[in-house]
A = this chain, B = another copy of it.
Amino acid sequence: MSSEECIDFFFKPESIALIGASPNPEKLSHTILESLRKMKFKGKIYPVNPGYREIEGLKCYSTPGEIENKIDIAIFAVPAKAVLEVLRGHVENIKGAIIVSSGFRETGLGGKKMEDELKALLKEKGIRAMGPNCLGIYDTVSNVDTFFIEREKIERPVRDGVSVLTQSGSFAAMIMDELANEGAGIARVVSYGNKVDVDESDCLEFLARDEATKAVALYIESVANGRRFLEVASSCAKKKPIVALKVGKREPGARAASSHTGAISGMYEAYEAAFRKTGIIEAASYEELKDACKVLNRYSPVEGKRVLIITDGGGIGISIADACEEAGLRVPELSETAVKKLKEKLPAFASVRNPVDLTGSVRNEHYVAALQETPAEEYDLAIVSLLWGPPLLTGGVAGKIRDFADSCGKPILISSPGGKFSRELASAFTKTGMPVFFTPESAVRAAAVLCGGKK
């Protein structure tokens, strides 16, 4: 079955039914209802629970069949057994299901049997499904949020360009929380858990043609259908960057991955080869995948590996240069012409090499001058690292660097190490939409992703 027409509705639903809705704030379903409302979901919401006539001001239905209209997404937030029971009833008006319930394949043989039955029921009723054992969809484009963890616990990122696909719900929650905390956004997140039906290839196929998605980040424990994945990923990678983290690379990670969603995570080497073949950029670590999301929200990969480093902290500049070399990037010496131009425009205290060190006497305009005077043909991307100690360095520098980035067309990555004060000043960059990284190595990880990933 081609999923072409089949799964798009998950990302632009007009109606959502919440099976197992409850007025009890301790129930997961209550959190989901709250999440949908906080997202200002524009479509219809139908609570379903035979025990209530009304929940939170919404009419409550006994069964999905009782709802007169079609249901784009039915969120199942009931125990595993109840999922099967509901599906045995009248569910002809349900197009898609998101089954957040656990208690299936991941729990062993009994669960595996129930999941087989689930699969058969879904097929029989013609329902496409995500899950079970998942968090579902967080979508800043369609304003859908089926995550059953409160916003007080897991922050929701604002809208941006990267979409995330993941089996692991805990991974989805973690990266959303951290991106939001670092001021970064996201387009859509899908946590598809045990993949009883919809899998990474289905989602990737949709994201490939999704205008709201600028790049895709994949967290992979295992791939269901290798051949289809290769096709879909190759085709998607031609249109937009895909970055992937394979986890469970070797024993014992692989062992744990197998128990976690009941899947068998294949040999890592096969995945490496597949990534190379399809043009997927491989992330070396969780940290790199997160850094990739931040940088791909704004920039596209570049040809070349030459990094220009501009800093006001000599030690940081050297650490960044070291990390670049380590990651297979180059920090080329500047040409004589460039050095001459820089010397003319920068004060004598500046060290005019690559890294350019503007020292603690720096002013905002020196950062801009260093960028403007370095000939564009001498580097492929720049890391601009700011320590905020210098009294004449202010948040005002952000707008100016952003303007330069817009006009020069090359990725400019901001590195701003430090604590509270630094983060506050660095938020001036975040506000302009520029990605900010908090350690020398994280900026370099992002640069490495733009330059094609793992050596």
- Interface-facing stretch out of A118-126, A244-252, A400-408: A244-252
Beyond A174-B418, A181-B419, is A260–B322 a contact (Cβ under 8 Å)? no
Which residues of B are found within 8 Å of A138, using beta-carbon distances? none
Distance (Å) between the CB of A412 and the closest chain B CB? 19
Assess whether B174 is in contact with A387, with CB atoms less than 8 Å apart: yes
Instruction: Tell me the residues in window 7-61 of chain A with beta carbons closer than 8 Å to chain B beta carbons.
Output: 26
**CA A181 – CA B282 in complex, angstroms?**
31
A353 at the interface (CB under 8 A from B): yes
Can you list 15 A-B pairs, Cβ within 8 angstroms, ordered by A?
A: A154-B389, A155-B421, A166-B315, A169-B360, A170-B312, A171-B319, A181-B420, A249-B322, A253-B331, A256-B351, A257-B314, A260-B315, A260-B318, A260-B357, A286-B440
* Contact call A257/B171, Cβ cutoff below 8 A: no
A-B CB proximity, top 8 nearest: A168-B315, A181-B419, A170-B313, A260-B314, A171-B315, A253-B321, A177-B419, A253-B322
Chain B residues in 8 Å Cβ range of A155: 419-421
The bracket for how many chain A residues form the interface is 35 or more
Is A145 among interface residues, defined by CB-CB distance under 8 A?
Answer: no
- When the two chains form their complex, are residues B255 and A333 in contact, meaning their CB atoms are under 8 A apart? yes
Docked-complex contact B247 and A322, CB < 8 angstroms? yes
A255 touches B154 (CB 8 A): no
Quick check: is A373 within 8 A (CB to CB) of the other chain?
A: no
CB neighbors of B among A303-324 (8 A): 312-319, 321-323
In the complex formed, the residue of B with least CB distance to A313 is B170
Query: Nearest Cβ distance between residue A264 and chain B, in whole angstroms?
Result: 13
Interface residues of A in 171-194 (CB under 8 A from B): 171, 173-174, 177-178, 180-181
Q: Which residues in B have their C-beta under 8 angstroms from that of A394?
A: none
Residues of B within 8 A of A349 (CB): 107
A281-317: CB near B (< 8 Å → 1, else 0) gives 0000111001000000000000000000000111111
Minimum Cβ distance to chain B for residue A93 (Å): 31
A143 interface contact, C-beta 8 A: no
Pick the contact of A252: B153, B333, B418 (CB < 8 A): B333
In Å, the complex CA distance between A375 and B174 comes to: 30
Complex interface residues of chain A between 415 and 430 (CB less than 8 A to chain B) = 417-422
Residue A325 interfacial (CB < 8 Å):
yes
Which B residue's beta carbon lies closest to that of A167? B315
- Whether a CB of chain B sits under 8 angstroms from the CB of A372 is no
B26 touches A391 (CB 8 A): yes
Closest Cβ–Cβ distance, residue A74 to chain B (whole Å) = 22
Q: Closest residue to A173 on the B side, CB-wise?
A: B389
Judge whether A256 and B318 touch: CB under 8 Å: yes
B315 touches A178 (CB 8 A): no
Q: Tell me the smallest distance from the CB of A353 to a CB of chain B, in Å.
A: 6
Given contacts A221-B318, A286-B440, A418-B178, contact A354 B247 (CB under 8 A): no
- Contact A287 B439, CB 8 Å, known A153-B388, A387-B173: yes
A351–B355 Cα gap in the complex (Å)? 49
A269 at the interface (CB under 8 A from B): no
Q: A153: which B residues are within 8 A, CB to CB?
A: 388-389, 421
**Is A335 close to B, CB under 8 A?**
no
Q: A152-B421, A171-B319, A253-B319 are in contact. List 8 more A-B contacts (CB 8 A).
A: A149-B389, A170-B312, A173-B418, A177-B418, A256-B321, A259-B351, A259-B357, A287-B442
A31 to chain B, nearest CB (A): 10
Whether the Cβ atoms of B256 and A357 lie closer than 8 Å is yes
Closest to A155 in B: B419
Q: How far is A349 from B133 in the complex, measured between Cα atoms in Å?
A: 13
- Residues from chain B with a CB closer than 8 A to the CB of A387 are 170, 173-174
